[in-house]
Amino acid sequence: MPLAAHDASVPVVVDEAKCIAAKGCTVCVDVCPLDVLAIDLVRGSAFMKYDECWYCMPCEVDCPTGAVKVNIPYLLR
């Protein structure tokens, strides 16, 4: 069975201008209970890699620069 790629809007948005992943920060990636965030090494910024969000907000609250915003996933908005 070949696999199809599913596209979906992701709830967690990272402001690249504020994100300091390039300086070695991994706070949001560390705290996510569902491990859905990752660092884009090329852009030097965190991003939501998997659409598996519990909209619990540690990523946003613990981010030292206020770069992360958790939106409510579209399906339940």
Partner 1 sequence: MSDPETQTIEADVLVIGGGTGGPMAAIRAKEANPNLRVVLLEKANVKRSGAISMGMDGLNNAVIPGYATPEQYVKEITIANDGIVHQKALLAYANGSYDMIRYLDKLDVRFEKDGAGDYAVRKVHHMGTYVLPMPEGHHVKKVLYRQLRRLRIGVINRYMATRLLRGADGRIGGAIGVNTRTSEFLVIRARTVVLACGAAGRLGLPASGYLFGTYENAANCGDGHAMAYHAGAALANLECYQINPLIKDYNGPSCAYVTGPFGGYTANNKGNRFIECDYWSGQMMLEFWRELESGNGPVFLNMRHLAPETIGEIETILHSNERPSRGRFHARRGTDYRHRMVEMHISEIGFCAGHSASGVWADERAQTTVPGLYAVGDMASVPHNYMLGAFVNGAIAGQEAARFCAEVDLPMPDAEMLAAEQARVLAPTRRADGLTPFEVEYKTRRLVNDYLAPPKITAKMRIAQERFAEIREDLDSLVARDPHELMRALEVQSILDCADMAAAASLYRTESRWGFYHFRVDYPETDNDDWFCHSLLCKDAEGRMAHRKRAVDSYVVPVDATEMTAYQKLRIAPAQEAA
Partner 2 sequence: MTMTVFDADPDELGVLAERARSADPGVRRVAMLALAETAEPEAATLLIGGLADDAAEVRAAAAQALEEHAGPQVIGALAAALEDPAPGVREAAAVALADRHEPDAAPLLIARATRGTPFARAAAFRALRELAAPAAGPVALAALTDASPTVRREAVAVLGWLRDPDTHAGLMRSAGDPEAEVRRAAMTALVSVRSGVPAVAALLSGLRDSDWQVREEAAATLARNRLAEAETALIRAMDDPVWQVQLKAAAALGRLRAVAALPMLAIALASEVSNLRREAAAALGEIADPAALPALHKVAADPDPEVRKTALWAIGRCGGGGAGH
Binding site for partner 2 (CB under 8 A): 20, 22-25, 27, 64-65
Binding mask 16-45 for partner 1 (x = CB under 8 A): --------------xxxxxx----------
Q: Which residues contact 74 (CB under 8 A, 6 or more apart)?
A: 8, 9, 11
* Other C-beta atoms lying within 10 Å of the C-beta of residue 76: 7
Cα gap 42→4, rounded to integer Å: 26
Among 19, 56, 63, 68, binds partner 1 (CB under 8 A): 56
Q: Which residues bind partner 1 (CB under 8 A)?
A: 1-3, 6, 30-35, 49-50, 52-58, 61-62, 70-73, 75-77
